[in-house]
């Protein structure tokens, strides 16, 4: 009879310990998820900030004065005397989005046009 009581106490203690550990693991998973989300958000903000400054760096091969920042769908356009360059800046392991890949493909295939619209008074 004594062995059964000891066994039940051990089972109870192990069950209680399992419950405490399960709750602790759940809390740690939530914290980890939150930290991961914060890290991603911080990386995104850092990337957006760096994109604005890269045209002023020594790495940028074009004239910073002739660069116009767009932000989306491409980071910007460099207007040189003999050409116009669509620019996309990537940090670390960033890859082109599907939209950016499509724009790159259109530019590389010469699917770029000029459009002009006069919005003045046509009655004069």
Q: Where are the domains of the chain?
A: 2-108
pLDDT of residue 109: 96
Handedness of CA 85, 88, 92, 93 (dihedral sign): negative
Q: Which residues contact 32 (CB under 8 A, 6 or more apart)?
A: none
pLDDT of residue 31: 92
pLDDT of residue 46: 80
Q: Which residues contact 63 (CB under 8 A, 6 or more apart)?
A: 78, 80
Q: What is the DSSP letter of 55?
A: G
pLDDT at position 95 over 60: yes
pLDDT of residue 22: 93
Q: Over the range 10-19, which residues count as b (16 or more CB within 10 Å of their CB) and which as e?
A: eeeeeeeeee
User: Left if phi > 0, otherwise alpha if psi is -120 to 50, otherwise beta: which for 53?
Assistant: alpha
pLDDT of residue 122: 66
pLDDT at position 17 over 70: yes
Q: What is the DSSP letter of 64?
A: G
Which residue is it, tokens 């998820």? 33
Give tens-digit pLDDT for 25-41: 999 999 999 988 888 88
Tell me which of 40 and 62 has the higher pLDDT. Answer: 62
Residue range 53-60: mean pLDDT, rounded:
91
Give tens-digit pLDDT for 79-94: 999 999 999 998 888 8
Residue 61 CA: distances (Å) to CA of 36, 75, 86:
35, 15, 13
């Amino acid at each position: 009879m004594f062995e059964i009581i000891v066994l039940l106490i051990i089972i109870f203690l192990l069950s209680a310990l399992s419950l405490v550990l399960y709750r602790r693991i759940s809390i740690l998973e939530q914290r980890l998820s939150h930290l991961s989300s914060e890290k991603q958000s911080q990386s995104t903000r850092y990337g957006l900030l760096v994109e604005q400054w890269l045209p002023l760096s020594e790495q940028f091969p074009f004239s910073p004065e002739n660069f116009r920042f767009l932000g989306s769908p491409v980071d910007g356009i460099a207007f040189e005397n003999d050409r116009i360059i669509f620019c996309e800046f990537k940090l670390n392991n960033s890859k082109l989005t599907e939209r950016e890949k499509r724009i790159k493909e259109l530019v590389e295939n010469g699917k770029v046009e000029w459009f002009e619209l006069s919005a003045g008074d046509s009655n004069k």
